[in-house]
Amino acid sequence: MKKRKVIGAALRVLITVCAAFSAVCFVSYLLSVLSHAGTFFSYALPIAACAVVILPPVLENTLSARLQQKCLPRKLFRAGQILYGTAVVFFTVTFCFMLGALHSYENSSPENVGDTVICVYGCRVKGENPSEMLRERLDAALTLLDENPSAVCIVSGALDEGETYTEGQVMAWYLAEHGIDEERILIDETAESTKGNIRAYLALIGEHDLDGYNIISVSSSFHMPRIEFLCGKYGLDCTFVGAPTERFSLWFPSVVREYMAYVKMILLNSYV
């Protein structure tokens, strides 16, 4: 009996810690999304995630009172507790595994000699200038382009809501301003998602007879696991370089967003 009480107490502590961590993650994700203008649907996922994590503890006393009044079946209440505990523990464990996987992309050293195509994934822009996160990706690409003067670069990104110029065009301007010959830059201005980026790279590689070239994908390190997964789905054989995101207030909600992008991709089968 005493052993069961100890195990029960340990489980309650574990669930409480995981619930608090999950709440911090999803609230930071929601605040990050709210800081950008968007449609209702862009807010729906983080709001739903916050509600799922935060509302059950808030409503627990009310539900317990209804249970005592026999307005709520005990088995239903217990099932809800088990489901909630399983969900927050599962999220915390898998999220921590994802964090551990990111470091390998930041420390990667791909082969970068001879015929090489460097594919840079788009991100939000501000007028004619890349955002901080996009600039970090472009700086990582610049290092690779400087190391290999014969390498070609493909930049990809469409016009997002609230933007004046396409991400692809702004990226090309940035590279040119930092000494990259415009003849080495291919621009895609149609891709609205990561899978759109990959489709655009495959199309431009075929269009410009770059088949057989060594391909390097460059993006933020938190973005790379999903890129690697989708590249496998679409048959883009490449190596991966993850640019570090220096500012924690940008990095952390972005990692949470990537996790939720996986969930959305799996639930909606949206990688095809």
Assigned token pair, 232 = 């496998």
- The single-letter DSSP state of residue 160 is P
Mean pLDDT score of the chain, rounded to an integer? 89
Sign of CA dihedral 124, 42, 100, 248: positive
**∠ CA 115-116-121, rounded to 5°:** 160
> Does 247 have pLDDT greater than 60?
yes
Structure tokens at 260: 């939720």
> Maximum CA pair distance of the chain?
76
For 120: left if phi > 0, alpha if psi spans -120 to 50, otherwise beta; the answer is beta
Predicted local distance difference test score (pLDDT) of residue 32: 85
Opening angle at CA 255, ends 117 and 11, nearest 5: 145
Quick check: 227 and 194 in contact, CB under 8 A? yes
**27 pLDDT exceeds 80?**
yes
CB atoms within 10 A of CB 95: 17
Q: What does the alpha-carbon distance between residue 217 and residue 239 come to, in Å, rounded to a whole number? A: 6
pLDDT confidence bin for 76, thresholds 50/70/90: confident
Q: Where in the chain is the domain with CATH 3.40.50.620?
A: 116-245
Architecture field, domain 116-245: 3-Layer(aba) Sandwich (3.40)
Contact criterion met (CB below 8 Å) for 243 and 223? no
Residue 271: its pLDDT value, please?
A: 61
Instruction: Specify the range with the lowest mean pLDDT, choosing from 53-57, 133-137, 207-211.
Output: 53-57
Across 45-72, average pLDDT:
80
